Amino acid sequence: MEKLNHKLGHDEVRLVHKLLPCLVDRRRMGQVCHDWRFAIKEQQHPPLRPLPSILVPRGDGPSFSCALAGCATHSFGLPLPDGARVACYFGADDGGWAFLAFGHFLDYALLSLHSGQRLHIP
């Protein structure tokens, strides 16, 4: 891919990357082009622990909203299981796991928002 802006050096790209509060936006910045990916390679992880994401229901499937990015929504990379659309969400973990209750609170599980893996909790 061609360079997007020949005037932006690696230091400027790193500064923009460092100032992005949203983890999703930070990750996507590295996908813009090879030069940007190379420039931010050492900065892929935010220095501070990010705020949790907020799950937002949508007609085409759930998405999540990042409070740090002005509540901009991002769709999940893969479709979530159908049952996850009607489950009650109680909490989440930094690793992308959500704690859910299914079927009028009869079935509890951890759901990976990255892979769709579901771990039943007795």
Helix (H) / strand (E) element for 71: namely: none
Query: What's the pTM?
Result: 0.47
Instruction: Tell me the pLDDT tens digit for each residue of 27-73.
Output: 788 888 888 888 887 665 555 555 556 666 566 655 665 655 565 66
Are the beta carbons of 76 and 64 closer than 8 angstroms? yes
User: Percent of the chain scored above 90 by pLDDT?
Assistant: 0
100 burial (CB, 10 Å; 0-12 / 13-18 / 19+) is buried
One domain, residues 75 and 109: yes
One domain, residues 43 and 79: no
- Domain range for 85: 54-121
One domain, residues 39 and 59: no
One domain, residues 88 and 104: yes
One domain, residues 8 and 39: yes
Cα distance between residue 25 and residue 107, in whole Å: 34
Q: How many CB atoms lie within 10 A of CB 50?
A: 16
Checking if the pLDDT of 1 tops 50, the result is: no
Q: Which of 94, 106, 104, 101 is nearest to 118 (CA)?
A: 101
Instruction: Tell me the pLDDT tens digit for each residue of 61-72.
Output: 556 656 555 656
One domain, residues 45 and 58: no
